A and B are shown apart, each in its own frame.
Chain A
Amino acid sequence: MSPFLLLLLLLVLSVAGYFIGQYKALNLARKAGGASRLHSLPVYYGMLTALWCCLPAFFMFLIWLGFEQTIVTGLMVADLPETARSLPPARLNLLIKDIQSLASGNIVSGEITPLMRQAAAHYVELQGIGKMITSVIVLVASVAGMLTLHRHIRPELRARNHVEKVVMGLLVVCSTIAIFTTIGIVLSILYEAVRFFRQVPVTEFLFGLEWSPQMAIREDQVGSSGAFGAVPVFAGTILISAIAMLVAAPIGLMSAIFLSEYADKRLRAVAKPMLEILAGVPTVVYGFFAALVVAPMIRGSGAQIGIDVSSESALAAGLVMGVMIIPFVSSLSDDVINAVPQSLRDGAYSVGATRSETIRHVLVPAALPGIVGGLLLAVSRAIGETMIVVMAAGLSANLTANPLQAVTTVTVQIVTLLVGDQEFDSPKTLAAFALGLVLFIGTLFLNIIALTVVRKYRERYE
């Protein structure tokens, strides 16, 4: 039975449970003499039955879904002949992948051997058995839950309180998903990064000046030893982010000031949606635009004045990224400037200050913590931006501060290392996670500072 069908069935059973529970409660009420004899409204008895019907069963379904692949693969591998099982881990992994692909009817990397064919058939069979077992367990759990509760329905059953308790539990679980996501990110990235640092020392990674992760597949190929000094990558990231901030910070801030202090209603009605559109354009579109239009334009104008500009210059990617961040800076600054109380403006105007004097000497200093916080968030965004740099910045890790040359960034390297065929356990693949760890920690640091600063600022004027 397919998972979707199973879920559908579960839903139907729950609805049935709802009506059964309600029906019994109504019956009880009639016998006892009126619905007021029941502790709760009949609806709650129905809901409680439905919850008992679906929750335990759904929980089991999730557990199976999570571990199905692992268990089935384990069983399949256990049944492989000894010769196959004693292969080195990398080869065995490849074999398993191939068998799985074969089973699901996909393209297989190598030649199909009878062994694989047999294993694939076995795999499919195991999968089928697994599915069947799940279906049976889930349905039995569901019906059992329904029956158990049905037996317990009595007038004095505190159905509403039970339902509310369960609902509260669900709410708590939902709100902790953010924590689990963070833990998941930290653990998964850390785990792979630690494996990387077992092969490449941390110091070499953090302070090395040479980055060329393209390890050869075979030992005897040229350049088989990669270099994993990430300083050029970090430098490139910082260079592009700095260019982006040089564009975004003044333009974004001035836009916010202009819109909140100078612009009349009509201009605001045009400019605000305009900035929202700019903010809503997907980054892949910016990337395409940077690579197709901006980079050649910069290269062309460089050539006209006799400067050699790389076609993947940091300048092009940085400029476009800056434009992407303008609306972000602008909306954050707009918020903090509007949070400055009107009384401060009044105070400044009442001694005869002009608008710009009020803004520059009173509003901006008053809003400064908030503005700085917003800019830090923008920096974090620039560092983590991926598609623009993947499409418009280069791959080669040059250690340079010249914005006209090609540089690479952390996110570009992560994408290049992880897209396409991957080898497990090779430092090349794992290096992406090490970079990811640095990226996560760096942005986390910026975000936490920024969010704290902004929160403190808001509390001051609330």
Chain B
Amino acid sequence: MQEVLKQNIVEKRILAPRDSRKTIGNINVPNPRMVCRNVNVYYGDKQAIRNVSIDIGCNEVLAMIGPSGCGKSTFLRCLNRMNDTIDSCRVTGEILFDGRDIYDPSVDVVPLRAQVGMVFQKPNPFPKSIYENVAWAPKIHGIVESKSDTDEIVESSLQKAGLWEEVKDRLDQPGTGLSGGQQQRLCIARAIAVSPEVILMDEPCSALDPIATAKIEDLIEELRAQYTIAIVTHSMQQASRVSQRTAFFHLGDLIEVGTTETIFTKPSHQLTEDYITGRYG
């Protein structure tokens, strides 16, 4: 719902038909996990993303920044086809994952989403116990066959998410009873319980306090060793702290891509510079 509302704002800003702007910087990486080429996203007849091309490398954290309504969340949701749930949404271009276009009609979203997990802006644990929150996805996918398998996955996922020590004595309590930061880490544990390759994070800390945010940021740093992470964030400090590469979006265009260091120290595009120096945003 929120996404849709946000989208309305986007529509108003980018109503005027115009050509997409060229992306500055190197969009390629040596070992890409996902390759996006000329991606366009439309809501009805309004275009929300224009001709975005970018690679997402293995074991890297790619930060997507930009003013609100710039399309960064929309783009993120394309990467595991979460946009499918919105009726009017249409995507063109290619997004290759392991060499296959995920928008190809033959591709099944269920295994795709098992490989490309997602963490949302607001923590959304299921109204089940902490244990069930983590165990549910492996169960429906048939990854676990016995109780001990399940226990193992729950424990390892919660450990990876840095939550195990805090909740190991109350696994049967509802996940909704945890604090905001704990809930978000529970959601991360839920996402990694099915061993995805890519984790998409949509402003995962925007609803959290600074201490919880710091914990999540540390966690992202740890997870990088095993997963590829794409994170949308509002906070430039966060982007500079957690990411290796940064992509700057503006009104549906990908303006500039580069290593985080370059973007934050020597931005090439005027808009990027204005944004990271805080002239607007």
Query: Which residues of A line the B interface, CB within 8 A?
Result: 265, 341-354, 357, 361-362, 365-366
Contacts and interface: CB of A to CB of B under 8 A. Distances in A.
A389 to B, nearest CB: 39
A244 to B, nearest CB: 30
B85 A351 contact: no
A191 B59 CA distance: 80
B117 A349 contact: no
A348 B140 CA distance: 11
| Chief secondary structure at chain A's binding surface | helix
A362 B118 CA distance: 17
Given A357-B140, A361-B140, A350 B117 contact: yes
A351 B117 contact: yes
Given A351-B191, A352-B114, A346 B140 contact: no
List 9 tightest A-B contacts by C-beta distance, closest first: A352-B114, A352-B113, A351-B137, A350-B118, A343-B124, A347-B124, A366-B127, A352-B110, A357-B140
B194 A352 contact: yes
A344 to B, nearest CB: 6
Interface string B163-179: 00000000000000000
A212 B26 CA distance: 92
A357 B137 CA distance: 10
A344 B114 contact: no
Interface in B103-157: 109-114, 117-118, 120, 122, 124-128, 136-137, 140-141
Nearest to B125: A347
A354 B190 contact: no
Given A352-B110, A365-B127, A366-B126, A346 B117 contact: no
Interface residues of B, number: 29
Given A342-B1, A346-B82, A352 B127 contact: no
A343 B122 CA distance: 8
Interface centre among B80, B109, B113, B140 (most CB of A within 10 A): B140
Given A349-B85, A351-B193, 15 more contacts: A265-B87, A343-B122, A346-B124, A347-B187, A347-B190, A350-B117, A350-B191, A351-B114, A351-B117, A351-B190, A352-B110, A352-B140, A353-B140, A362-B126, A362-B127
A346 B85 contact: yes
Interface in B73-89: 80, 82, 85, 87
B136 A361 contact: yes
A292 B1 CA distance: 49
B188 to A, nearest CB: 12
A350 B188 CA distance: 11
A351 B157 CA distance: 14
A353 B137 contact: yes
Contact of A350 (B82, B111, B127): B82
A346 B137 contact: no
15 contacts: A344-B127, A346-B85, A347-B190, A350-B118, A351-B136, A351-B193, A352-B111, A352-B141, A353-B140, A354-B110, A357-B140, A361-B136, A361-B140, A362-B126, A365-B126
Nearest to B128: A365
B85 A352 contact: no
Interface of B: 1, 80, 82, 85, 87, 109-114, 117-118, 120, 122, 124-128, 136-137, 140-141, 187, 190-191, 193-194
Contacts of B126: 344, 347-348, 361-362, 365-366
Contacts of A344: 124, 126-127
Nearest to B4: A342
Given A343-B122, A357-B140, A349 B191 contact: no
B1 A347 contact: no
B112 A346 contact: no
A348 B117 CA distance: 10
Nearest to B132: A361
A350 B85 contact: no
B1 A349 contact: no
B88 to A, nearest CB: 11
Contacts of A357: 140
Contact of A346 (B120, B125, B127, B193): B120
Contact of B194 (A265, A351, A365): A351
Nearest to A366: B127
A354 B127 CA distance: 18
B124 A352 contact: no
Contacts of B125: 347
Contacts of A352: 109-114, 137, 140-141, 194
Nearest to A265: B87
Nearest to B112: A352
A348 B133 CA distance: 10
Nearest to B81: A349
Nearest to A351: B137
Given A342-B1, A346-B82, A361-B136, A351 B113 contact: yes
A361 B128 CA distance: 10
Contacts of A342: 1
Contact of A345 (B85, B113, B127, B128): B85
Contact of B82 (A265, A349, A353): A349
Contacts of A343: 120, 122, 124
Contacts of A366: 126-127
Interface centre among B85, B136, B194 (most CB of A within 10 A): B136
Contacts of B87: 265
A234 B85 CA distance: 48
A350 B81 CA distance: 9
Contacts of A265: 87
Contact of B80 (A341, A350, A354): A350
A344 B137 CA distance: 13
A319 B194 CA distance: 46
A339 to B, nearest CB: 12
Nearest to A342: B1
Contacts of A345: 85
Nearest to A361: B136
Contact of A349 (B113, B122, B127, B187): B113
Nearest to B191: A351
A199 B259 CA distance: 93
Contacts of A350: 80, 82, 113, 117-118, 120, 191
Nearest to B136: A361
A403 B117 CA distance: 52
